[in-house]
Amino acid sequence: MVKRMYGAGKNGWHLCSTSSLLGICCVEQIQQERDELYNKFIKAVHEVQQKSNFKNILLEKKLGAFADMLEKKEAQFNEVLAASNLDPAALSAVTRKLEVFRPSV
């Protein structure tokens, strides 16, 4: 025997069985779980984005530091070459050989 109760539907109040009310409750619970999972997913995505942005900032700072260090080393090297009193042909040969190790940016 199925009990009958009144429930609100799209077309107003109507008589419905307890089994259909249980179905509505289950659907609402599933929708709530879905919403909670979606919110957790969005939160996780934002956390990953924040972590990757932070790592990118750190890498950019490291890259800047390496670029500064390279610039200083190149300046030191150019001073050594200038002080070495090499003839222009030898100086050109050394410079060409070093270009192999440092690709142009």
pLDDT tens digits, 26-42 = 888 899 999 999 999 99
Helix (H) or strand (E) holding 2: none
> Between residues 97 and 20, which one has the greater pLDDT?
97
> Between residues 6 and 46, which one has the greater pLDDT?
46
Q: Give tens-digit pLDDT for 53-83.
A: 999 999 999 999 999 999 999 899 888 888 8
37-51, 59-73, 85-99: lowest mean pLDDT where?
A: 85-99
In angstroms, the CA 21 to CA 31 distance is 15
Q: Return the domain boundaries, the chain.
A: 4-101
